Amino acid sequence: MSKKLEKKEEAPVAVPNKEEPKKAEEPEKVVEEKKPVKAAKPKAEKKHKEEKGARGLYKVEGDKVVPLRPACERCGIGYFMADHHDRYTCGHCGFTRYKQTEP
Protein backbone atom coordinates (compact mmCIF):
# COMPACT_ATOMS: atom_id res chain seq x y z
CA MET A 1 0.00 0.00 0.00
CA SER A 2 1.65 3.07 -1.12
CA LYS A 3 0.15 6.36 -0.58
CA LYS A 4 0.13 8.45 -3.55
CA LEU A 5 1.88 11.53 -2.80
CA GLU A 6 -0.03 14.39 -4.09
CA LYS A 7 2.19 16.70 -5.78
CA LYS A 8 1.36 20.09 -4.62
CA GLU A 9 2.24 22.68 -7.04
CA GLU A 10 3.04 25.77 -5.24
CA ALA A 11 2.40 28.80 -7.21
CA PRO A 12 5.38 30.98 -7.21
CA VAL A 13 4.55 33.95 -5.13
CA ALA A 14 5.78 37.06 -6.63
CA VAL A 15 7.52 38.93 -3.96
CA PRO A 16 7.80 42.53 -4.79
CA ASN A 17 11.34 43.42 -4.61
CA LYS A 18 11.31 46.59 -2.72
CA GLU A 19 14.92 47.18 -2.76
CA GLU A 20 15.85 47.49 -6.28
CA PRO A 21 19.46 47.68 -6.92
CA LYS A 22 20.22 51.05 -8.16
CA LYS A 23 21.96 51.08 -11.38
CA ALA A 24 24.34 53.66 -12.32
CA GLU A 25 21.95 55.31 -14.60
CA GLU A 26 23.07 57.18 -17.51
CA PRO A 27 21.27 60.36 -18.11
CA GLU A 28 18.65 59.45 -20.58
CA LYS A 29 18.31 61.54 -23.56
CA VAL A 30 15.00 63.20 -23.59
CA VAL A 31 13.54 62.65 -26.92
CA GLU A 32 10.49 64.66 -27.62
CA GLU A 33 8.02 62.48 -29.25
CA LYS A 34 6.04 64.10 -31.88
CA LYS A 35 2.44 63.39 -31.28
CA PRO A 36 0.51 62.39 -34.29
CA VAL A 37 -1.69 65.19 -35.36
CA LYS A 38 -5.22 64.20 -34.73
CA ALA A 39 -7.69 64.68 -37.41
CA ALA A 40 -9.64 67.78 -36.70
CA LYS A 41 -12.97 66.82 -35.33
CA PRO A 42 -15.95 68.78 -36.30
CA LYS A 43 -16.60 70.91 -33.32
CA ALA A 44 -19.69 69.93 -31.50
CA GLU A 45 -22.06 72.77 -31.23
CA LYS A 46 -21.94 74.08 -27.77
CA LYS A 47 -25.02 75.38 -26.19
CA HIS A 48 -23.66 78.72 -25.40
CA LYS A 49 -25.48 81.93 -25.24
CA GLU A 50 -24.26 84.29 -27.77
CA GLU A 51 -22.97 87.43 -26.31
CA LYS A 52 -25.01 90.12 -27.82
CA GLY A 53 -23.62 92.91 -25.77
CA ALA A 54 -25.81 95.95 -25.64
CA ARG A 55 -27.82 94.66 -28.51
CA GLY A 56 -29.33 91.99 -26.36
CA LEU A 57 -30.70 94.58 -24.02
CA TYR A 58 -32.64 96.58 -26.52
CA LYS A 59 -35.16 95.92 -29.15
CA VAL A 60 -35.58 98.13 -32.10
CA GLU A 61 -39.14 98.86 -33.03
CA GLY A 62 -39.23 100.99 -36.06
CA ASP A 63 -37.42 104.11 -35.08
CA LYS A 64 -37.64 103.46 -31.41
CA VAL A 65 -35.25 101.58 -29.22
CA VAL A 66 -37.06 99.75 -26.49
CA PRO A 67 -35.15 98.34 -23.56
CA LEU A 68 -36.11 94.76 -22.99
CA ARG A 69 -35.47 94.81 -19.31
CA PRO A 70 -36.28 97.34 -16.68
CA ALA A 71 -33.53 99.47 -15.31
CA CYS A 72 -32.64 99.27 -11.68
CA GLU A 73 -34.51 101.71 -9.55
CA ARG A 74 -31.60 102.22 -7.26
CA CYS A 75 -28.79 102.32 -9.72
CA GLY A 76 -30.63 104.17 -12.38
CA ILE A 77 -30.59 104.04 -16.11
CA GLY A 78 -27.92 101.86 -17.55
CA TYR A 79 -28.17 99.20 -14.93
CA PHE A 80 -30.40 96.59 -16.34
CA MET A 81 -31.96 93.99 -14.19
CA ALA A 82 -31.61 90.32 -14.80
CA ASP A 83 -34.73 88.73 -16.10
CA HIS A 84 -35.67 85.75 -14.00
CA HIS A 85 -38.81 83.78 -14.34
CA ASP A 86 -40.46 85.45 -11.39
CA ARG A 87 -38.39 88.46 -10.68
CA TYR A 88 -35.94 91.01 -11.90
CA THR A 89 -32.71 91.37 -10.08
CA CYS A 90 -30.07 93.98 -10.26
CA GLY A 91 -26.65 92.48 -10.39
CA HIS A 92 -25.13 95.72 -9.29
CA CYS A 93 -26.85 96.36 -6.00
CA GLY A 94 -28.94 93.26 -5.52
CA PHE A 95 -32.25 95.00 -5.82
CA THR A 96 -35.00 92.56 -6.61
CA ARG A 97 -38.37 93.35 -8.01
CA TYR A 98 -40.86 90.57 -8.27
CA LYS A 99 -42.89 90.30 -11.36
CA GLN A 100 -46.49 91.04 -10.80
CA THR A 101 -48.45 88.14 -12.06
CA GLU A 102 -52.06 88.73 -12.71
CA PRO A 103 -54.32 86.09 -11.36
Report the C-alpha gap between 5 and 45 in whole angstroms.
72
Stretch in the footprint of Zn ion (CB under 5 A) among 6-14, 18-26, 58-66, 68-76: 68-76
Stretch in the footprint of Zn ion (CB under 5 A) among 8-16, 28-36, 45-53, 75-83: 75-83
Is 58 or 79 the residue whose CB approaches Zn ion more closely? 79
Report the C-alpha gap between 65 and 24 in whole angstroms.
78
Report the C-alpha gap between 69 and 97 in whole angstroms.
12
The answer to whether 67 and 57 are in contact (CB under 8 A) is yes
Judged by CB under 5 A, which of 46, 74, 82, 98 binds Zn ion?
74
Judged by CB under 5 A, which of 55, 83, 93, 97 binds Zn ion?
93
How many CB atoms within 10 Å of residue 81?
20
Query: Which residues contact Zn ion by CB under 5 A?
Result: 72, 74-75, 79, 90, 92-93, 95
